[in-house]
Amino acid sequence: MNKHLIIVLIQLYFLSNSIFAQDFWELLPFPDNQNISTLKVNSAGEIFVGTVTGYQDNGIFRSDNDGLTWEMMLNTRNFQIFAISINSIGNIFVGTGDGFYPFLASFDNGLSWDTIPVPFSSGFGEIAFYGQDTVLVGTGAYNGAIVLSTPDLGMSWDTLFLTENHTSEYVADIAIAPSGDIAIGLGCYLPDMGGLFRSTNGGADWEFLGLFNRMVENLEYNAQGDLIIGVRGGYDGTGGIYAIYHDNPDQIVECLAGPNINGLSLNSAGDIFAGSGSPNGIIRSTDNGQTFEFINGGLPFGEMGSLEKDYNDYIYALIDGGSHYLFRTISPTVTGINKLPDHDKNGSLFVFPTPVSEVLQGKIYDKLPDGIYKYTITDITGRLIASNRLHVFQNSFSMNVSFLSKGYYVFTIYSNELTYSAKFIKS
């Protein structure tokens, strides 16, 4: 171990001890007979969790009340969930460990599921969205890592990226830059594999950027186009956090050497959060990778895993290796955003797209008669912004919200003693 690495680890150790006294995280309840593999939060604040619990009932669970209660929306039985992704209009895509039906989708918030046909039987481990229509999926094929793309929900497929004669290599993450560049991180278990690739022309051509013999398992672009890279060790055993900054797109900068990075997330301010092992915990940088600190208050001792941000800038965290423990930051991670108020409802309201510029659409998942209903729009402090009536037909509606200023809002529909609320962002 080199001198630089030793110094970094010592600094992180003392930072960890200094911050442990204050709780930064809270534990959300989840069935203790399930192990969580992956998590996504839609624009309405509903949490979707996939499980990997051996040979028993696995599937997709949903909570629409901040994790207080959970409902199984998809039972895949002994087939484990490897990946969940939710696009901008709320469609849910799932990659499973089922060799016959590896790719599933729901277009009604998890109430029903369709099987998407795929050209081979391997389960998908990563799902990303390129533009409005194209879905990218990545995995490990029989002889290497592969990324496929479909513009029509599986009716046709193209091979976007492929490595050959790399039998232990797999696609660990896919990230799309604001410019449209595609970055791919590869994991591996054997020498002379792994690393980081990028395409600047929609996948027609690829360039190898570096981090050879590393498990490049986490990639995130910020709003400026900087690529933040999480490395989980590799054949050479070295993990860490790296970056390619937009003003020098061909140079990989070492931000933090040493820890195995098991998860990565950026909030809307660009702060970096990383789930770490050796040393264990969650690391944060508020200066785009220049300095780091541990924020472990409220976490158990052990390696932390995947991280996920919601639309209100809360960060969710999982234990690495799978467990039923699910953590969330006690408050939003961006100053000035308050937790949206709880609401009493017997049904679920889903609104899209979010962020929205003009027309907001909604779907009520309850038996609501067609008719005219009162609605309100409040800001995140609870201040009333608008109140009027709208027409609900077959549990759906649409309305123009172009008059709203940019920001976070709560949309509520009233039906007798029931209320249906959802959060959205006006762009």
Mean pLDDT of 32-39: 91
339 in any annotated domain: no
Question: Across all residues in the chain, what is the average pLDDT?
Answer: 85
pTM of the prediction? 0.75
Check whether residue 117 and residue 220 sit in a common domain: yes
pLDDT band at residue 364 using 50, 70 and 90 as cut-offs:
confident
Q: What percent of the chain has pLDDT over 90?
A: 42
In a domain, 127, yes or no: yes
65 is in which domain, residue-wise? 3-329
Tens of pLDDT, residues 392-418: 888 888 888 988 988 888 888 888 767
Based on the domain organization, do 364 and 317 belong to the same domain? no
Using the predicted structure, report yes or no on whether residue 320 has a pLDDT greater than 50.
yes
How many Å apart are CA 421 and CA 377, to the nearest integer? 10
N- to C-terminal Cα separation, the chain: 48
Q: Report the CATH number at residue 286.
A: 2.130.10.10
The distance of Cα 124 from the centroid of its chain, to the nearest Å, equals 16
Across residues 213-241, what is the average pLDDT? 91
In the chain, % of residues over pLDDT 70: 90
Together in a domain, 315 and 379? no
Helices (H), strands (E): how many in the chain? 1, 35
Q: Of 283, 301, 329, which residue sits at a domain end?
A: 329
Given 282, 299, 329, which residue is the final one in a domain? Answer: 329
Asked whether the predicted pLDDT for residue 332 surpasses 80, the reply is: yes
Structure tokens at 175: 């990230």
Residue 336 lies in a domain: no
What pLDDT was estimated at residue 343?
A: 35
Same domain as 388, residue 307: no
* Burial of 230 per CB tally in 10 Å (0-12, 13-18, 19+): buried
Give residue 271's pLDDT. Answer: 95
What φ, ψ does residue 6 adopt, rounded to 5°? -60, -45
pLDDT at 20 over 60: no
**What confidence score (pLDDT) does residue 336 get?**
59
Residues 151, 237: one domain? Answer: yes
Query: In the block, which residue shows the tokens 């006690």?
Result: 330
Secondary structure class of 335 (helix, strand, coil): coil
Q: What is the pLDDT of residue 141?
A: 66
Q: Which amino acid would we find at residue 375?
A: Y
Q: Is the pLDDT of residue 139 over 50?
A: yes
363 and 250 in one domain?
no
When divided into structural domains, the chain yields a total of: 2
354 & 417 share domain = yes
What are the DSSP calls for 178-222, one per residue?
TTS-EEEEEE-SSSS--EEEEESSTTSS-EEEE-TTEEEEEEEE-
Dihedral sign, CA of 266, 268, 270, 273? negative
Let me know whether 321 and 371 are in one domain.
Answer: no
378, 295: one domain: no
Q: Is 393 a domain residue?
A: yes
Same domain, 159 and 224: yes
pLDDT at residue 13 greater than cutoff 60: no
Does some domain include residue 407? Answer: yes
Q: Could you give the CA distance from residue 160 to residue 369 in angstroms, rounded to a whole number? A: 47
More confident residue, 352 or 59: 59
Whether 342 is in a domain gets the answer no
Rg for the chain, CA atoms, rounded: 22
Q: Is the pLDDT confidence value at 284 over 60?
A: yes
At which of 294, 329, 364 does a domain end?
A: 329
- Has residue 120 been placed in a domain? yes
**Over 90: is that where the pLDDT of 42 sits?**
no
Return d(Cα 233, Cα 210) in angstroms, integer. 14
Lowest mean pLDDT among 101-115, 274-288, 370-384: 370-384
Of the pLDDT bands very low, low, confident and very high (cuts 50, 70, 90), residue 344 is: very low
In a domain, 302, yes or no: yes
CATH of the domain at 353: 2.60.40.3080
Cβ neighbours for 14, distance < 8 A, ≥ 6 positions apart: none
Q: Report how far residue 136's alpha carbon sits from residue 149's, in angstroms, rounded to the nearest whole number.
A: 4
Task: Output the pLDDT for position 346.
Answer: 37
Same domain as 311, residue 165: yes
Local confidence band at 1 (pLDDT 50, 70, 90 cut-offs) = very low
- Is the confidence at residue 68, as pLDDT, over 80? yes
Q: Report residue 424's pLDDT band, with 50, 70 and 90 as the boundaries.
A: confident
167 and 282, same structural domain?
A: yes
Distances (CA, A) of 184 to 73, 128, 173, 210: 30, 11, 6, 11
Task: Evaluate whether 317 touches 282 at the Cβ level (below 8 Å).
Answer: yes
At 142 the pLDDT is 65
